[in-house]
Amino acid sequence: MREGQNLKTPVAFLVFNRPETTRRVFEAIRIARPCRLLVVADGPRENHPGEAARCAEVRAIIDRIDWPCDVLKEYSEFNLGCGRRISSGLDWVFREVEEAIILEDDCLPHPDFFRFCELLLEYYREDERIMMIGGSNYLLDTLDIQESFCFSRYFSIWGWATWRRAWAKYDLSLKGWPKLRQQNQLGSFYREPFMRKHVASMFDKAYRGDVDTWDSQWFFTCLFNNGLSAVPRKNLVSNIGLEGTHTSRDISNHNFPVFGIEPEVITFPDKVFPNRLYDEEFFRRKIRRTFRMKVENRMHLLLSSLKYRAGD
């Protein structure tokens, strides 16, 4: 969106305790000037000194709106945690609106991101095959397709959009996962064994409650409803949060460059089907690389420990 134009699609803004990144993402939203802004905020955690003040500072940023906008707020006064807060917050969002563009407080979009989402939300509004519109392309600007976007079976939530019809299928508990796992149903979607292993591990952890998350459950919802995500040809969103609830030491996916996509001349694929080449290349570059880094880090720690015990 160019400054001065008003975005018709509602924007949901998910915030917590990071005023620095919140301020930058809020400025991007201010430029887009949505007519409706829905803000979901978690409350401070106990025994975290200074967090209440940071949460209050974040909420004060929202009060600086200087354009015509209907603002709705869903603020928790106590901490719900990532999984409960975002999932319940999006439940609230989609009780209020039929569709929304969704940004967390560390996902900084290119101005074209908003118009890209708005156009695709309208175009695929009634198409049950499309579960979400993504803004992130982890291959940056190297996706070799002629159209403005392709479809994927990887569901990134670093800047995205969806409809009430899709979110209505969401299940935080993943109650169907054990049976689907036993039936080896992931083989229907991913032919590479390491891809299946990665996704199964992600669902296992979420089902057991090993991680306080909500996005693995959204991934599960999209995948097992045979849904697809639209992925832009060029990356439209950069994650600027180097520290977060689930951030690891591998920050290779953070602070990506973003690119314009000329939303006025967006070209649509002729057919709706997953771009397997994109998915496999993404998994090779990011998931397999991350796994290798973890193994190398563990080996380094083990060798360091052995050297220490030997007195080296």
Q: What pLDDT is attached to residue 291?
A: 46
pLDDT over 80 (residue 301):
no
Could you tell me the CATH number of the domain that includes residue 246?
A: 3.90.550.10
Cβ atoms 141, 233 nearer than 8 A: yes
Number of neighbouring beta carbons within 10 Å of residue 65? 16
**pLDDT score, position 161:** 98
Q: Is the dihedral of CA 130, 273, 269, 260 positive or negative?
A: positive
Q: Is 150 part of any domain? A: yes
Mean pLDDT over each residue of the chain, to the nearest integer = 89
**263: closest CA among 102, 112, 142?**
112
Q: Are 201 and 190 in contact (CB under 8 A)?
A: no
Number of folded domains that form the chain: 1
Q: What tens digit of pLDDT does each residue of 17-71 get?
A: 999 999 999 999 999 999 999 999 999 999 999 999 999 999 999 999 999 999 9
Does 288 reside within a domain? yes
* Residues 6+ away with beta carbon under 8 Å from 210: 204
* Domain housing 59: 11-310
Task: Kindly state whether residue 2 falls inside one of the protein's structural domains.
Answer: no
In a domain, 3, yes or no: no
pLDDT at 298: 46
Give the tens place of pLDDT for each residue, 184-231.
999 999 988 989 999 999 999 999 999 999 999 999 999 999 999 999
The pLDDT value recorded for residue 143 is: 83
| Average pLDDT of the residues in 95-103 | 98
- The answer, yes or no, to whether residue 109 has pLDDT greater than 80, is yes
In a domain, 21, yes or no: yes
Q: Is the pLDDT of residue 297 over 60?
A: no
Domain-embedded: residue 24: yes
pTM of the shown model: 0.88
